[in-house]
Amino acid sequence: MENFEPIIVAFCCHYCAYTAADMAGSKRLSYPPNVKIIKAPCSGKIDAIHIMQALQKGADGVYVAGCLEGDCHFKSGNTRAAQRVSYIKKLLEEIGIEGERVEMFTMSAGMGERFAEVATEFTEKIRKMGPNPIKRAAKAAC
């Protein structure tokens, strides 16, 4: 597993996390290119199915990034997203995949630093965990 470059999907809400990502850009804060952002209007829009699909198609880690607690532009989308993420964690554990591959983060629009920090730390965590086990199995099968 040398040279393992994890694929990370970050579902970001428009008002906070996506804006924070842009902010990280304007501040030129670097973070690993492994992180690919998919924009949604609210973290509450991210369906559990989207998270599962990303993992099933080969992502090594997935996170949902929404507004800070109590600051959701749509009142409570972020708390619903957090609930879904913890549900998915349990479902993953049930099929023997580490729940830590999925996380929920919150940040405000101005937190470019936090965006970069979360992206870096999550990528490093997944890098340490190694590839998504479904890929490992696929490789072993060859």
**CA-wise closest residue to 91 among 50, 54, 48:** 48
Query: Which one among 3, 72, 117, 127 touches other proteins, defined by CB under 8 A?
Result: 72
Shortest spacing between CB 125 and other proteins, in angstroms: 19
- Contacts of other proteins in 111-140 (CB under 8 A): 116, 131, 133-140
Nearer to other proteins, 15 or 103 (CB): 15
CA dihedral of residues 117, 123, 127, 131 (deg, nearest 10): 160
Contact flag: residue 40 with other proteins (CB under 8 A): yes
Contact flag: residue 3 with other proteins (CB under 8 A): no
Nearer to other proteins, 2 or 26 (CB): 26
38: tokens are 């998919």
Sequence-distant (6+) residues with CB within 8 A of 56 are: 134
SS3 18: helix
End-to-end CA gap in the chain = 15
Shortest spacing between CB 141 and other proteins, in angstroms: 4
CB of 27 closer than 8 Å to CB of 112? yes
Interface residues with other proteins (CB under 8 A) are 7, 9, 14-16, 18-19, 21-22, 24-26, 28-31, 33, 36-42, 44-50, 52-59, 70-77, 80, 84, 91-92, 94-97, 108-110, 116, 131, 133-142
